[in-house]
A and B are shown apart, each in its own frame.
Chain A
């Protein structure tokens, strides 16, 4: 099914988050042919799962909508979703990339009318909400999804549920015979933009993420705050659905720690500062945020944002890395234990909800992309200085970055890729 025309003058972009979309658009708008592959059924990456962006606190629709508009209008970009790279072979100016494409079971005829979703009763955990809620097994990945096309989950294929979905579709868009495909795509250069994943919070044993219901992660908190999220935008805590008005944020959960991630994830201080706004937005003066930190790293321009949060009377700053968390069985409140650095006072503070500002890990270990040519740093990000192949890291595949910096790095990677394919085309004249 998937016809892909690609030559060694094509730029392959791997990962369709904000970085991959940016890199693809920059190259295509410079007249290059681009194939953009994304492993999920929709583009957008982690940004689409945020409630609001710092520093301006706008909704992620802002940045994404503009990019999607540019994308729709550009004939030089071929987008493949549910596609994952299995192997990269060749050399600069002449790569051959093996890509696995999973079946969506829904073709281009889909109008996203939603009839299949209504017909199906089976439910699956919703990955868009970090599995905090369920979704029908025939679903649109999210409201902003691109392509705006439904997906049938593989778990219902071969069951009467799939037949129900097919029968409900008026546009003949459901194709239950789709099979996994393996494609080989040629490319002169590759932009690697596979992004990040949250560090596995359960590995930080003393914080009890796997034992205490009301200890959650920062990415989950984004979903709680979002009206499209599992709680319809209410900050309800998991144990009893009570409104969480007294929220603690624990910084460096997994970052800057030789037992976990060695690097500073750079965005989590800003993410927590931003999230205190969610508490204020929902509860006004009744809300209470406490940030437990080693030091606040609101880098360069973000200092203003930090100072504004500092001025908010409902936000407390406690200079201390929390030692451990226990649960008050009677109330379900997590209790934070530690000693602060400003006076060495011992504390045992109870909160309604604890948000772990988890660190960023690369989605793909860079050392496994093209062993030898693509070099990983200590944390598994692409080390752009030591990499010798024309595989250019962009966004969070190359470092822990906020959106602004991710997009800058994507433009840089795109420029590098353009130079490589320009060289190829000159050689062939």
Chain B
């Protein structure tokens, strides 16, 4: 870890001006990713601005348009167990509780969750080439050990995946990210927040330097009747996803009115394919139809050797999770191990 300075910001303006005046300054929220990156010497800030004591943006609040606003500084645990989230957006609650551990969820904030870095092994190993860590140095995962890497949307420069569970549900729910900057506020639809690696894998998302996430807004529709989050991993708890699926279904009798399917663990961002969701609209919720949708979602998927298994695994996970979304028995609140 390098030597750095630390200060607590009392409000958003102070936090933003401190960080935007100094290109070597960064925000510190729960610290669960930042402190780890400091220990691996992957970040070398001159100043960390602690945003945990800013009184605003800590709540989970109903909005005027019928949705719910998640404060960026609320913890993952506060969010997952909040009555509004448990009852109206149980898909989000389950996805958050599938991630990390109870201790980490008590520390991690909603804003920080969106900005966590990849878990690619080479990214953490300074002795190996990695374009995300050192642009232009090459990608060790291509041709290297790549069991956990991407099968969709990767580039010749980077095949890393974005490891969040929470964000897979936020993607399925069409969340909107609210951002403050010294030049004013803006918002980004969730699909436009994270990036594919392309030629700039060092950039995970479209947040600009000095900008701060203030909230994540959920539209009214929560798919609280038919939803499921399936996380497949190397052990049944406290491990990152190999493949995860968030499904929300809006059913009218035996017909799907609207389907949402987002995948985690397969790409540099949560993966959603509108064509697959459109295909399901108006059809019956059958295993055959879900399998056809899964095929559309995985269209163009490529493995890099060790991760070839993810293509079939993802297809089967989509079908299984959509069938689980039909079954209220599988929809109990709380944290659950992988099955």
Q: Do A and B bind each other?
A: no
